[in-house]
Structure 1
Amino acid sequence: MGESLCESCGKQPASGRDAGWRGGRIVVQALCAGCMAARMRGRLIGAGGAALAVLAAGLGAAVLSERKAQDVGSAKPQRAAGLFARSKTPTLDSFSRDLTQLSLEGKIDPVIGRELEIERVVRILARRTKNNPVLIGEAGVGKTAIVEGLALRIASADVPRSLLGRRIVAISFAGVVAGTKYRGEFESRLNRVLEELRRTPEDVILFIDELHTIVGAGSAEGSTVDAANMLKPALARGDIRCIGATTFDEYRRHIESDAALERRFQPIVIEEPTPEQTLDMMSGLRSRYESHHGVRIPDETLSAAVELSARYIADRRLPDKAFDLLDEACAMVALAGQSTVDRAAVAKIVSGWTGIPLDTLAEAEAQKLLHFEELLRQRVIGQDSAVSAVADCVRRTRAGLKEHRGPLGGLLFVGPSGVGKTELARATAAALFGSDDALLRFDMSEFSQPHSAARLVGAPPGYVGYERAGELTEAVRRRPYSVVLFDEADKADSSVVSLFLQLLDDGRLTDAQSRQVDFRNALVILTAHADEGEDLATLGAIFPSELLNRLDDVIVFRALDGRQLRAVTELLARPLIMAAAEQGIALRLCDAALDAIAAEADDPRQGARILRRIIERRLRSPLAKAMLAGEFVKGQAVEVDAAADGALVFRSAS
């Protein structure tokens, strides 16, 4: 009879017998040496594991017993986020951050200048009913920081007795929703969280950042069960205490629209801090930024960060934008291997954010404004009174003597065609903001129909293009420091002109998405055509008196005489001379040639625009033809003179 095989693996010959469980009864099996050894190891590990489990249970019971005895015998309140406290809410802990524990670990920055707001939150939390505050304010004003400040107070036991030992836990509803594949999983998770909160009513204060996200969170298609509706009963009965934070728009859209949810929260409006308060906040946190970046931050750098952010970054709020500006300036200096963050570093960051050149942000701006007329006269010929009026308007604003409401200035340029109205606006943009690109030009001849007003601020709901931003409002939102030119405003429809009233009066417009666009850092210029000698009283027939009364000044442009046309000719010929120099040809225009070109353009009805066409025909085209024919080559000097009959003569000067 052959050797029997192992009854476990069925491969090796059996070398022994062992008893084991099979089918609920003890069975003796023939096993090979390998299977016998494996079974013995399993028994040893199982016995050791059981012994360890018994030992761990005994030790754990002893530790918990000792900790409870300490809790009973100690008059000092225990830390809110200890191991024993966290074990009461395991589900909540997996979807949240304990701000009180982070405060104890020194991972939260100190909160400065928000004592009144924190006291208001404490008062509401200490109420018997309706003890759920919601912080409402614009993005970046420090709503979350106020909650962190309360966590710091709890960690240092600087709160009323009713809040001692509390944990402020910031829950993430995105984490609660994430991974819920089947219907009912989200509700099950949230119910477990709420049950843990009910079991520990004197332990946890829930913090929901972006409170509006609970509306609709976790709801299935066609279902009305969401996080907000699940929280309502607990909030109404006082089973949980909750702090919310959201913006004005989101609160109005999501919370106020649900009256039952709104009455369960007590609103606290968080205003934007003043520049002085922001400076105090930054002074208190200076050491944190210095240690993180390894740089030194002088007092004048903090002042520059507050001043420049408040002045040039209009679409964000203090203190957030000032801290971001300082943080990036510190990072730039640290990466460059330098040790001190100065005003120039902060100005460079602002320039990168806004596109405003550095020299505009420098302290030498005052000297530039004193000589503003000279900068404008380099590009605008023969309109000295208009140049002086524009310079005076800019100086009044920059000196801080203009009323803060309204734009930097509201000007109306009136005069014949081709006398420099648009060019003065372009020159003002370049001198004031460092680039011609700072001119936002809108040709009002395109807005002669009543419905075209929607193009400027956006189409109303229900119309094609509602999702697009308005051409005017979006351009100013992206570049708030600019010169806004409404060219040929006399050709615009009256509904378009009506938009100028609010713009010039309050310095703001509301677009189709109900966003207010700030024009207080823009210079607004309108142009209109009026023939030479025409009475300004006729403007009343073109523009309503409400518009004219809101303007800072009406500037009249005069027709150019022969001497001024010659100066304009010399100015317009410079681009041609520079283009020829790039081709290696030194081009020089004699006085006789300039006089001949200016004489041909001496027509008051045409203005200076005809000069461009004359220069193209009489200078640029003949020179291009001669260069292609090989008459003038690279490295040669060319002189342009005029014959007795006014014809231009090109000859080599080398």
Structure 2
Amino acid sequence: MSGQANTPIHDHLIRGHDYLAQRPEFSLIGRTEPVQQLTAILTRRNANNILLVGSGGEGCSALCLGLEERKLDDGAPYDLISKRFFWLDSDGLFASGNPNTINDSFQKALKILARTPDSVLIIDDMRDFIEASRNNGASHLINALMRAVRKKDTQVILESRDADLNVVLSAHSDMREYYTVLDLSEPAADELIDIVDQTARRRLEPFHKIRIADSAIAAAVELTEKYRVRDMGLSRAQPERSFTLLDRALTSYRLRAHSKDPRIVVWEAELEALAQEEPNSPRINELKANIQTISQQWQTRQQTIKKLFQELRNGEEGIRRLEDELETQLLKEAEARENAADKEGIKGSTSALNRFMLDTVSLDSEVVTHIKQKISQYEALVKEKKSDFEAQTKEINDQLELEREQVLIEFSSISGIPVTKLTQDERKKLLHLDAQLAKRVYGQDVAITKLANQVRVAKAGLQAPNKPQASFLFLGPSGVGKTEIAKALTAELFDDESALLRFDMSEYMEKHAVAKLIGAPPGYEGYEAGGILTNEMRKNPRRIILFDEIEKAHPDIFNVFLQILDDARLTDNRGLTVSFRDSIILMTTNIGTRHFLGQSNFSIAEELAMEDLEKEYRPEFLNRFSGRQNIVCFNTLSLSIIEMIAIREINKLNEMVRTTMPNLTVAMDSTALSAMCRDHYKPVNGARGITGYIEGVIKPEIANTVLFADQSSGIITIGYDEVERCPVMSLPDGQGVEQATG
């Protein structure tokens, strides 16, 4: 429920033009199509009431206010101009807590709407209205509202968060019949830039008194579109996310700039760079002199501002004190006049008349006049000091402009993503995507190349319309990199491996499991919660989704897959549609694994695995992967690849050791590493076998060696006993420590 500071005309109804007039800064930017849809629905004969659904921050409230604003446009249709919009002051309606008072007020409001031609009632948070009705013992208000709708006494627009849609729809059985659900989505890219740009300049610049560069607005939109962070302010929908980021960046920049002259920050950075690169440069002395001069000027200015601020506060406090003194004096004199009148015997109507004459014609006393003069002097002083204070701060703020770098710094502090990654050129990142993926996934060049090429096609805007950006089916033995490539791709594109949306299909083996993805049917437990997949995609449609080991999923799940892969859209149990057009769909399966393990010829194994795949899945499913071009078989890993993976794991282990003991190094020579991999690698386990061995055997022995070593510097050498098939550790001083673990 919104708490309006508006004055209702009658019984908690606020006229649309009054509601708009009290928001002079409001202007609806873009959103032409949703406004047209709203207007069209309101003009219908049937189902001409609207349930406006959207995520927090998408602008449902702004869209409704935009209808009132559009009535002023020259090109507005008469059908819209004739509509008379009223906002319900829900807070005021339920403020008494008395069910009878609430009911009477609401019934009067409905009568006013019924007497007003073409009236439209807007309730800006229907879930809160429903809960407040129930909590105050006035559940029948919903029935009364629906009765007015059925009788066509008024039209209604209800605003609801998409998470609350089921609560609203289940509030009355006729809701679906009389209301049209309009699902509001985030504005498109070009429209989003315009909305953020104009809104930020109209609201944020006057508040912070700092200019915003175009590059800062572009950066805010780019970052909030590409990344999703768990911060509450940046978890809402666009354009709210971009607006919030700009507000926070301006705040941080403003505080930094008001504590130190911005020129000093630039010069100190230049000085630090020169001190490392050209320590004898004459520019260093020049910079130091400039910094000292500006620092002194800045301190002087800061002292002046602080003094002005203190004088301003003293003046304001003086006014408050004198106003209290004046009020006390006026009451004292009024009481004295009344006592004097009573003593003179003034009574009845004559007394009232004389008292009135005394109050109206009497002049201020000397004391009152003196206090008023002092108040006037203080007010003049406050006005002067305020003007001086604003002039000083304006002189500083006029030098400031929020730029892209400040937005990047703020977003980095919120998300934890280094600024260096945020500033990477997206085109260069895509160009070298193959090489970056190959650093994590060894021996799968075909899969890497196909995946990287498809991503580049999508980013270049060449993807098929109404299809996901890419869809791949990976098959091959366990532990060869099918899941790892999904994690690596997520880390490269989103700089955060945890951004991967992963579904282990072993959890979806039952027939009813499809409800987990798209939500339970009406009447079943969990209906209101929606589906895991659809909810996540509504929050963030730009995802990499991994469906792991799809052969374990129930056959009904594949009907969901077909729709995602074909139309790039899915409708959940509540009737809300989510788009997969900006997502990358990756699926893995272990079907055909036996052929790769038992056949030395990869091409033959690939053909046999594809035959198994065709027996298991319908052709229409397999054809969804770009006509089967994106069904990729992964190689079994050779011993040389396993050695590369082992080296990588030993390097990771070395980095862990250095975090606690910086002067200690872990090393394993190539002979020992090769022997270890040869003894403990089994193709059926893939890379997990050797990584598991390092995790379960090598790492504990390193831990024991580090804990009990007398020296905290040098090299711990990992050897390997081929007879005992176990590692041997050597301490930095060269004394061997035999381990009995096999």
Q: TM-score, normalised by structure 1?
A: 0.68
Aligned residue type for 2:89: S
Partner residue in 2 for 1:577:
654
Deviations 1:296-315 (A, max 9, x none): 12334444455555666799
Partner residue in 2 for 1:415:
476
1:524 aligns with 2:585: yes
Write the distance in 2 (CA, Å) between the matches of 1:118 and 1:639.
Answer: 71
- The alpha-carbon distance between structure 1 residues 565 and 226, as it changes in their structure 2 partners (threshold 3 A), is closer
> SS where residue 598 of structure 1 aligns?
helix
Question: 1:445: Cα distance to partner?
Answer: 3.0
Aligned residue type for 1:385: V
Aligned residue type for 1:426: K
Q: Is the 8 A contact 1:272 1:317 kept in 2?
A: yes
Write the distance in 2 (CA, Å) between the matches of 1:175 and 1:557.
Answer: 65
Q: Is the 8 A contact 1:561 1:602 kept in 2?
A: no
Partner residue in 1 for 2:355:
none
> SS where residue 570 of structure 1 aligns?
helix
Partner residue in 2 for 1:457:
518
Q: Count the aligned residue pairs.
A: 553
- Higher helix content, 1 or 2: 2
Write the distance in 2 (CA, Å) between the matches of 1:622 and 1:367.
Answer: 42
- The alpha-carbon distance between structure 1 residues 578 and 134, as it changes in their structure 2 partners (threshold 3 A), is same
**1:76-91, aligned counterparts within 5 Å?**
none
> SS where residue 471 of structure 2 aligns?
strand
Question: 1:290: Cα distance to partner?
Answer: 1.4
- The alpha-carbon distance between structure 1 residues 274 and 134, as it changes in their structure 2 partners (threshold 3 A), is farther
Question: 1:123: Cα distance to partner?
Answer: 11
The counterpart of 1:228, out of the listed 120, 132, 145, is: 145
Partner residue in 2 for 1:29:
none
- The alpha-carbon distance between structure 1 residues 328 and 482, as it changes in their structure 2 partners (threshold 3 A), is same
- The alpha-carbon distance between structure 1 residues 242 and 394, as it changes in their structure 2 partners (threshold 3 A), is closer
Write the distance in 1 (CA, Å) between the matches of 2:112 and 2:699.
Answer: 84
> SS where residue 402 of structure 2 aligns?
coil
The counterpart of 1:294, out of the listed 209, 214, 234, is: 209
Write the distance in 2 (CA, Å) between the matches of 1:100 and 1:378.
Answer: 62
The counterpart of 1:402, out of the listed 451, 463, 474, is: 463
> SS where residue 189 of structure 1 aligns?
helix
Q: Is the 8 A contact 1:211 1:245 kept in 2?
A: yes
Aligned residue type for 1:641: G
Question: 1:600: Cα distance to partner?
Answer: 1.0
Write the distance in 2 (CA, Å) between the matches of 1:113 and 1:620.
Answer: 59
Write the distance in 2 (CA, Å) between the matches of 1:164 and 1:442.
Answer: 50
Write the distance in 2 (CA, Å) between the matches of 1:623 and 1:233.
Answer: 76
Question: 1:107: Cα distance to partner?
Answer: 2.9
> SS where residue 551 of structure 1 aligns?
coil
Partner residue in 1 for 2:557:
496
- The alpha-carbon distance between structure 1 residues 299 and 582, as it changes in their structure 2 partners (threshold 3 A), is closer
Question: 1:419: Cα distance to partner?
Answer: 1.9
The counterpart of 1:540, out of the listed 614, 622, 644, is: 614
Q: Is the 8 A contact 1:601 1:610 kept in 2?
A: yes
Q: Is the 8 A contact 2:486 2:586 kept in 1?
A: yes
Partner residue in 2 for 1:186:
102
Question: 1:397: Cα distance to partner?
Answer: 1.8
1:607 aligns with 2:523: no
Q: Is the 8 A contact 1:121 1:133 kept in 2?
A: no
Aligned residue type for 1:451: H
Partner residue in 2 for 1:568:
645
> SS where residue 107 of structure 1 aligns?
coil
For the pair shown, the structure with the greater C-alpha radius of gyration is 1
Partner residue in 1 for 2:93:
176
RMSD of aligned C-alpha atoms?
4.9
Deviations 1:440-488 (A, max 9, x none): 3333234333333333333334445445554444454555444322222
Question: 1:245: Cα distance to partner?
Answer: 5.5
> SS where residue 494 of structure 1 aligns?
coil
1:598 aligns with 2:677: yes
Partner residue in 2 for 1:371:
432
> SS where residue 639 of structure 1 aligns?
strand
Write the distance in 2 (CA, Å) between the matches of 1:324 and 1:499.
Answer: 36
Partner residue in 1 for 2:271:
none
- The alpha-carbon distance between structure 1 residues 150 and 621, as it changes in their structure 2 partners (threshold 3 A), is closer
- The alpha-carbon distance between structure 1 residues 581 and 359, as it changes in their structure 2 partners (threshold 3 A), is closer
1:635 aligns with 2:550: no
Q: Is the 8 A contact 2:477 2:634 kept in 1?
A: yes
Deviations 1:187-233 (A, max 9, x none): 4334555677789x69x976523496889996967958854267569
1:485 aligns with 2:564: no
Aligned residue type for 1:181: N
Write the distance in 2 (CA, Å) between the matches of 1:608 and 1:267.
Answer: 51
> SS where residue 17 of structure 2 aligns?
helix
Write the distance in 2 (CA, Å) between the matches of 1:92 and 1:492.
Answer: 59
> SS where residue 92 of structure 1 aligns?
coil
Partner residue in 2 for 1:431:
492
Write the distance in 2 (CA, Å) between the matches of 1:350 and 1:327.
Answer: 11
Question: 1:594: Cα distance to partner?
Answer: 0.9
Which is worse superposed, 511-520 or 165-174?
165-174
Aligned residue type for 1:427: A
> SS where residue 382 of structure 1 aligns?
coil
Partner residue in 2 for 1:557:
634
Partner residue in 2 for 1:507:
568
Partner residue in 2 for 1:53:
none
> SS where residue 429 of structure 1 aligns?
helix
Partner residue in 1 for 2:24:
107
Write the distance in 2 (CA, Å) between the matches of 1:301 and 1:325.
Answer: 10
Question: 1:178: Cα distance to partner?
Answer: 3.1
**1:343-358, aligned counterparts within 5 Å?**
343-346=404-407
> SS where residue 550 of structure 1 aligns?
coil
Question: 1:550: Cα distance to partner?
Answer: 0.9
1:209 aligns with 2:147: no
Write the distance in 2 (CA, Å) between the matches of 1:291 and 1:617.
Answer: 60
Write the distance in 2 (CA, Å) between the matches of 1:347 and 1:115.
Answer: 31
In structure 2, list runs of 5 or more residues that go unmatched.
1-5, 229-233, 259-399, 600-604, 734-742
Aligned residue type for 1:635: S
Question: 1:619: Cα distance to partner?
Answer: 2.9
Partner residue in 1 for 2:9:
92
Question: 1:410: Cα distance to partner?
Answer: 1.3
Question: 1:291: Cα distance to partner?
Answer: 1.0
- The alpha-carbon distance between structure 1 residues 609 and 258, as it changes in their structure 2 partners (threshold 3 A), is closer
Write the distance in 2 (CA, Å) between the matches of 1:131 and 1:165.
Answer: 18
Deviations 1:157-195 (A, max 9, x none): 999999999996533144224315253x33433455567
Deviations 1:247-294 (A, max 9, x none): 6969977799369977xxx99998875544444455554244311221
Question: 1:387: Cα distance to partner?
Answer: 1.9
Q: Is the 8 A contact 2:469 2:582 kept in 1?
A: yes
Aligned residue type for 1:493: H
Question: 1:620: Cα distance to partner?
Answer: 3.2
Question: 1:621: Cα distance to partner?
Answer: 4.2
Q: Is the 8 A contact 1:208 1:243 kept in 2?
A: yes
Write the distance in 1 (CA, Å) between the matches of 2:184 and 2:480.
Answer: 52
Aligned residue type for 2:653: L
- The alpha-carbon distance between structure 1 residues 538 and 269, as it changes in their structure 2 partners (threshold 3 A), is closer
Q: Is the 8 A contact 1:438 1:481 kept in 2?
A: no
Q: Is the 8 A contact 2:52 2:181 kept in 1?
A: no
Write the distance in 2 (CA, Å) between the matches of 1:193 and 1:596.
Answer: 85
Write the distance in 2 (CA, Å) between the matches of 1:120 and 1:283.
Answer: 25
Aligned residue type for 1:503: I
Aligned residue type for 2:636: A
**1:144-293, aligned counterparts within 5 Å?**
144-145=61-62, 148=65, 170-183=87-100, 185-193=101-109, 207-210=121-124, 226-228=143-145, 231=148, 236=153, 244=157, 246=159, 257=174, 274-285=188-199, 286-293=201-208
- The alpha-carbon distance between structure 1 residues 463 and 631, as it changes in their structure 2 partners (threshold 3 A), is same
> SS where residue 403 of structure 1 aligns?
coil
Aligned residue type for 1:172: D
